[in-house]
Structure 1
Amino acid sequence: MSTGLQWLDVGVLGLLGLLIGSFLNVVIHRLPKMMEQQWAAEYAEMEGKEPPAQAPFNLMVPRSRCPHCGHLIAWYENIPVVSYAGLRGRCAECKKPISVRYPLVELVTGGLFGFCAWQWGLSVTALIWCVFCAALVSLAMIDWDTTLLPDDITLPLVWLGLVASALGWTAVPLNTALWGAVAGYLSLWSIYWLFKLVTGKEGMGYGDFKLFAALGAWFGWPVLIPMILLASVIGAIVGIAMKFTSGLREGGYVPFGPFLAGAGFAALIIGPDTLRQMANL
């Protein structure tokens, strides 16, 4: 493929990534709230009570609003990156600041989609890795905000990795992907129970097991050790930095999911083989 066509592919998928990134901002904000509503309804049912009446709330409705003044976001105020720049990072109505995280999520997603296009062109392989990237961005941000890794994302990600391997959409043989998923889940599950038996505390959540299983399904079992080492080292550095800057939340914990996601991005961008070589240094 010529460089010109390659850059065209990057532009097409990069633009798609910006649009998907805008939607991911909705997922990151709303999915945990949807889960809370579902838990409240299930708890009420267990108590033999009527579930609390709630207005429709999902990824599509209600329309996005300014959290400060309730101003409905018009379509031209919701163009990825461009609208944020045009509004100078402020609500068009009340002029309160809009978090810079929104355009950052859009830019990161667009960049990851563009990378997939550069690697694989406009192909099924590129699109399937774009789905992987979108899922990891969502999981990293949701876990950082709430310490939740929703099954609605982690479990489909595991299965999609196995299906992609079976159909030859990734370079990982199916048996390697399958044992990667098994080893990814069981390794963190074992660490969880060992830590709990020794300390009486829970060091991580079940969502971390499922996310690591997903990474095993996408990259295969040989990459699991370098990925967990990378995630642990970066997580420890960030945790220490947050401790010294008083940035730790109540309880002194740092969610592990964002660092697992970061290790997944590292394996995607620099390649599983390079990651294994770095771990052997």
Structure 2
Amino acid sequence: MAFLDAHPGLGFPAVAGLGLLVGSFLNVVILRLPRRLEWEWKRDAREILEEPDLYDPPPPGIVVEGSHCPHCKRNLSWYENIPLVSWVIQGGKCRGCKAPISVQYPLVELLTALLFVACVWRFGFGWKGFGAMLLTGFLISLSGIDFRTRLLPDQLTLPLLWLGLVASVENLYIGQKAALLGAMAGYVSLWSVYWVFKQLTGKEGMGHGDFKLLAALGAWCGLAGVLPTILISSLVGALVGSIWLAAKGRDKATPIPFGPYLAIAGWISFMWGNDLVGWYMRIAGLA
């Protein structure tokens, strides 16, 4: 770590390469985890209802099974799995069936690489930088899954919450008290909005995964980071959501995933929360 801190010209490219590799794995998580969960839910439901077993082979696992073309199901060679490079060389198409490969793959890989570099630029190449990259990977996965399926799985939100609390034991970013209060405030704040909205309208305005995601972000950012996260996510969500609805010709009743906006706002608060609060207090004449 000290060597990389002393030679950032080597460290930053190495982290960018790591980000491309991790981004490739995050694509697998985004695409396969919801399918695995749905398969498990159906299996468990049949068992609880005592229904007869059906022939329902499980979808590909996240780690063991190799990558394959989603169209022709052909297993991909190692040189077809090089992050970002393979997609560009192949022109965004499968070498076998020539079917288009989703642009999600290179975008997630490139985004992960860029954000990983931002993490070590902000926190260095030690444990703080590693923790920031870990948080970033979780947020990218959760955003991709929520965007595609409107799900924020407990399998990701709860480990992220506990990792934030564990990091606070060593006072890596914030202390234990701030992390615990942040997690509590994050959960209760959105749960309260959900409960009031449901009482007034009889409808559910958001999913329970949103509460857990904000609780996890509170564990990483602390109590002081919860309010900026809510404000930034609401602003970004309203702006981007309105543009998306207008572009798609949808009405305002169309459900929009809130997780990606929470993730964006939480990442910004985690990286530069103190600077943003200080800037706001100076603008408001409070400092």
Instruction: Provide the TM-score with structure 2 as the length reference.
Output: 0.91
Offset, 1:129: 1.2
Q: Does 1:12 align with 2:14?
A: yes
| Structure 2 residue aligned with 1:104 | 107
Q: Does 1:256 align with 2:252?
A: no
- Within 2, Cα distance between the matches of 1:9 and 1:26? 26
| Structure 2 residue aligned with 1:222 | 224
Q: Does 1:273 align with 2:274?
A: yes
Query: How big is each residue's C-alpha offset from its partner over 1:176-235, in whole Å with a ceiling of 9 and x where there is no partner?
Result: 111000000011011100000001110001100000001100010112111101100110
- Within 1, Cα distance between the matches of 2:56 and 2:135? 33
Alignment of structure 1 residues 53-68 onto 2, 5 Å: 53-56=55-58, 57-68=60-71
Which of 49, 74, 77 is residue 74 of structure 1 equivalent to? 77
- Within 1, Cα distance between the matches of 2:19 and 2:27? 12
Contact 1:154 1:210 in 2 (8 A): yes
Contact 1:248 1:254 in 2 (8 A): no
RMSD: 2.0
- Within 2, Cα distance between the matches of 1:120 and 1:10? 12
Q: Does 1:163 align with 2:163?
A: no
- Within 2, Cα distance between the matches of 1:102 and 1:160? 27
Contact 1:266 1:275 in 2 (8 A): no
Contact 1:17 1:111 in 2 (8 A): yes
Q: Does 1:139 align with 2:142?
A: yes
Query: How big is each residue's C-alpha offset from its partner over 1:19-40, in whole Å with a ceiling of 9 and x where there is no partner?
Result: 0100000000000001101110
Q: Does 1:181 align with 2:183?
A: yes
Among all aligned residue pairs of Structure 1 and Structure 2, give the percentage whose two residues are the same amino acid.
46
Aligned partner of 2:24: which letter?
S
Offset, 1:247: 5.4
Q: Which runs of 5+ in 2 are unaligned?
A: none
SS of residue matched to 1:245 = helix
Contact 2:5 2:11 in 1 (8 A): no
- Within 2, Cα distance between the matches of 1:278 and 1:27? 37
| Structure 2 residue aligned with 1:190 | 192
Contact 2:5 2:124 in 1 (8 A): no
Between stretches 8-17 and 47-56, larger displacement belongs to 47-56
Q: Which runs of 5+ in 1 are unaligned?
A: none
For residues 140 and 44 of structure 1, do their structure 2 counterparts lie closer, same or farther at Cα, with a shift above 3 Å needed?
same
For residues 3 and 174 of structure 1, do their structure 2 counterparts lie closer, same or farther at Cα, with a shift above 3 Å needed?
closer
Aligned partner of 2:156: which letter?
I
SS of residue matched to 2:248 = coil
Contact 1:22 1:105 in 2 (8 A): yes
Offset, 1:121: 2.8
- Within 2, Cα distance between the matches of 1:83 and 1:161? 35
Aligned partner of 1:272: which letter?
G
Between stretches 41-50 and 5-14, larger displacement belongs to 5-14
Instruction: Provide the TM-score with structure 1 as the length reference.
Output: 0.93
- Within 2, Cα distance between the matches of 1:214 and 1:72? 37
